Amino acid sequence: MSESIPSPHEHIVFTEFDDTEGVLVDLNSKRYYTLNETAMIIWRGLEQKRTREEIIRDITDAYDVTAEHAAQSLDKLVATLQARKLLPADGGR
């Protein structure tokens, strides 16, 4: 069974500056966050409601990294996004 990850909140706006940097603006808290290139791939996957496995594949297709390493990095970023209330907690899809 494929694992799903919560989708971003409606009040979080994502803007891509170029292929290397993006910005998330939280319209509720009036705060913004910058994302690096790898984090942008993950965020786009979350916006498109891709499964965990699909996002891991996106990362391994673009970067020289093992699926295991990509999975750990994905989980770590998702936890950070949830801690900053940019993503709902698990099941908040």
Task: By CB under 8 A, name the binding residues for other proteins.
Answer: 24-26, 29-39, 41-42, 59, 62-65, 69-70, 73-74, 76-77, 80-81, 84, 86
Copy the structure tokens of residue 67. 């699926």
Query: What are residue 35's phi and psi, to 5 degrees?
Result: -120, 140
CB of 5 to other proteins, least distance (A): 13
Q: Which is nearer to other proteins, 4 or 25 (CB)?
A: 25
Q: Which is nearer to other proteins, 75 or 90 (CB)?
A: 75
CB of 79 to other proteins, least distance (A): 11
Q: Which is nearer to other proteins, 13 or 92 (CB)?
A: 13
Whose CA is closest to 72, among 62, 60, 82?
60
Q: Amino acid letter at 82? A: Q
The DSSP symbol for 86 reads S
Whether 22 and 16 have beta carbons less than 8 Å apart is answered as: yes
